[in-house]
Each structure stands twice: as structure tokens, then as C-alpha cells.
Amino acid sequence: MEFTPRSILPHRYPFLLVDRFGGLEGDHFTAHKNVSHNEPFFMGHFPSEPVMPGVLIIEAMAQAAGMGLAARENFGGGEVGYLAAIDEARFRRMVVPGDVLRIEGDILAFRRGLCKVKVQAFVGDDLAAEANLSFMYQV
């Protein structure tokens, strides 16, 4: 099976926010999002000074976490995780067109359909955002 965002995640344009899955080593995963001037949300957020909304950075981190868990658990692409909690979210810098968002995370627990993940998003070496995310999976 091909392991790409489109083959694993149920999301599609304009809501597919992971461009490439970098891989999984143990419980640590990486993914990337190329932030383009053509993103539809920049038309309104904000036209004169485009900034990626924090909620969409969280969503990109959640999608990356979904791919990391799918890789670890050998999911076939039909499983869907629903975001259940966002804890300790912090935004450290703006994400703007031209940035490449590198998402890294660690799967902390996965029991009885509940997954906990610590995720960070970087632009270059700068931490842009971080959060602890929880998901409910129907497996």
C-alpha cells in the first residue's frame, strides 16, 4: 500500500494540510506542509498581511499525528481519528506564505481507541507551535 497523505487521511483539498509524511521511527514521526500564497484561507486571513490561522496549524499537526499513528499501527486507510482534546497549545511565531512547516511528534499512548500525542511545528529551526493532542479512534 502507498503511504501518502491522500491514501491514509480522509481529508481532501482544501482541508488536506499535510503534503508529505516524512516517516516514523519508533514512536516519533515527521511530516511537512508547504505553505503557499495560494492557500484559500489567505484570501481572508489577512489579505494585506497573510498569516496561517493557528487553528489550521493545529489541524495540520493533528493530521500528521493521524499519519504517524496509521504508520505505527499499520492501519489500512479506513480508520478515522476524531480530535478529542487540545492541551497546552502554544503559538511561538507566525507562519506565512513561503514557509515550510515541519511537524514532529511523539505518540505517547494508544489504548482502547484513545491516542495521546505531543506535537511540535517548526519553520526552519524556529518552533512555531506546540500542543498535546488526544484522539478517539474507532478501530
- In the predicted structure, residue 64 carries a pLDDT above the cut 80: yes
* Each residue's pLDDT tens digit, 71-130: 999 887 678 889 999 999 999 999 999 999 999 999 999 999 899 999 999 999 999 999
> Is 11 in the active site?
no
For the chain, the average pLDDT equals 94
CA–CA distance, 114 with 31 (Å, rounded to integer)? 21
Q: How confident is the model at residue 139 (pLDDT cuts 50, 70, 90)?
A: low
* Each residue's pLDDT tens digit, 1-24: 568 999 889 999 999 999 999 999
Please choose, from the candidates 73, 2, 1, 3, the residue with its C-alpha nearest in 3D space to the C-alpha of residue 31.
3
A 10 A CB-CB count for 74 gives: 7
Name the active-site residue from 11, 32, 37, 45.
45
Q: What is the DSSP string of the chain?
A: ---SHHHH----TTS---SEEEEEETTEEEEEEE--TT-GGGGTS-TTS----HHHHHHHHHHHHHHHHHHHHT--S---EEEEEEEEEEE-S---TT-EEEEEEEEEEEETTEEEEEEEEEETTEEEEEEEEEEEE--
Domains of the chain, first to last = 5-137 (3.10.129.10)
